[in-house]
Amino acid sequence: MATSTVTRVRRQLPSSPWLFAAPGLLITGVFILYPFVSTVVSAFTDRRTLVPGKFVGLANFRELLHDDMFWIGLRNSTLYIVCVVPALVVLPLLLALLVQKNIPGITFFRSAFYTPVVASIVVVGLIWVWLLDERGLINSLLESVGVGRVGFLSDQWLLLFSAMAVTVWKGLGYYMIIYLAALANVPRELHEAAAVDGAGAVRRFRTVTVPAVRSTMVLVGALSSVAAFKVFSEVYLMAGPSGGPAGEDTTLVMLVQRTGTGLTGRVGYASAISLVVFVVTVALMLLVLRADRREAS
């Protein structure tokens, strides 16, 4: 009966599925597909903010190869992945194991660990800038214990690692929640059986917990590596618009923003950088998925 109604409707209004999908398609088209196609087209032109560009072939990409700032951006974005992703795959899992236990007051800790996720990145960034300032709280503490003041915000490497620390601190709660959901699906019997067989806490973590949440770890790895490669706010807020001392902390997305915005922005060149970011991001996702598939097989 239901099937015949559907068939009748289809016959009467063949385009009805498209009509239902139209709002979603329109939004996707206007806000995702159109900007994407526009960026790809612009990447092969010398378009500027107020001047329509002409086709320049691969000139923008050739220029990228000789642009020191592009290589600095690529280095920093890659370093961000190398340092931030392992931390964001492992630490939230450990945190989730800690807060998974149903003991009095645990809700407070779960909420506390999640708070940085909902806090505005601008507010968080400014707070960390104040804390890490040459005369900030952390430096005052270090000085009081005889370590002396550390140039967290003036040394290019310390600045980059400080920004990474903020990214990890802010992301912990988010990935912790994902792990908590995964851990809830790990059968209790597996842990009990392993415990009966004499496995300690570390052994149970290695042989029961990790295999059970492996697919979640892959998901977290993929999500955090894409986010890390596209990092902007933390570095922008802590290193300033010029990207740290001599621009040495610039990331690729910061370079896109700096190059392509404003009245004299080089939209074509910035689009070429964006395209590189896109290709690397897709490649990263594919790598992670392939590694997961190989492990699974």
Partner 1 sequence: MSVSRRTLAAAAFVALVLPLSACGSGGDDGGSGDASGKVEGDITFQTWNLRANFKSYFDGVIADFEKQYPGTHVKWIDQPAEGYADKISADAAGGTLPDVVNVSPDLVAPLAKAGLALDLDKAAAKYRKEYLPGAWASHRIPGMTGTYAFPWYLNTGPLFYNKSLFKKAGLDPDSPPKTYDDLFADALTMAHKSDGKVATLANVPTIEDFGRYGVELMNKEGTAFTFNDAKGVQLLSKYKELYDAKALDPQALTATPESSGRKFLTEAVAMNPGSALDLDNFKKQAPNLYKNIGITDQITSTGHVNMYVMGVMVNSRTKRTPAAVAFAHYVTDAEHQMSFAKKVAIFPSTAGSLEDPYFTKEDGTDETRVRIAAAKSLKNAVNYTPVLFSDQMKTALRNEVAKALQGKESPKAALDNAVKACNTLLQQQG
Show the site string, 257-276: x = touches partner 1 by CB under 8 A, - = not: -xx-xxxxxxx---------
Give the C-alpha separation, 80 to 77, whole Å.
5
Give the C-alpha separation, 39 to 103, whole Å.
52
Chain CA centroid to CA 59, Å: 30
**CA-based angle 217:124:282, to the nearest 5?**
40
48 is an interface residue for partner 1 by CB under 8 A:
yes
Name which position in 43, 44, 47, 273 contacts partner 1 (CB under 8 A).
47
50 is an interface residue for partner 1 by CB under 8 A:
yes
Name which position in 125, 171, 221, 247 contacts partner 1 (CB under 8 A).
247
Show the site string, 223-242: x = touches partner 1 by CB under 8 A, - = not: ----------------xxxx
Name which position in 53, 171, 173, 221 contacts partner 1 (CB under 8 A).
53
CA-atom Rg of the chain in angstroms: 24
> Which span sits near partner 1 by CB under 8 A: 14-22, 83-91, 100-108, 178-186?
14-22
41 is an interface residue for partner 1 by CB under 8 A:
yes
17 is an interface residue for partner 1 by CB under 8 A:
no
Give the C-alpha separation, 203 to 182, whole Å.
19
To the nearest 10°, report the CA torsion of 56, 62, 66, 68: 80
Residues 123-142 that bind partner 1 (CB under 8 A): 129, 133-135
To the nearest 10°, report the CA torsion of 29, 31, 37, 39: 180
> What DSSP line would sit under 239-259, residue for residue?
HTTTTSGGGTT--HHHHHHHH
Name which position in 86, 154, 192, 282 contacts partner 1 (CB under 8 A).
154
Kindly list the residues in this chain that would bind partner 1 in the complex (CB under 8 A): 14-15, 18, 29, 33-34, 37-38, 41, 46-53, 129, 133-135, 151, 153-154, 159, 239-247, 258-259, 261-267
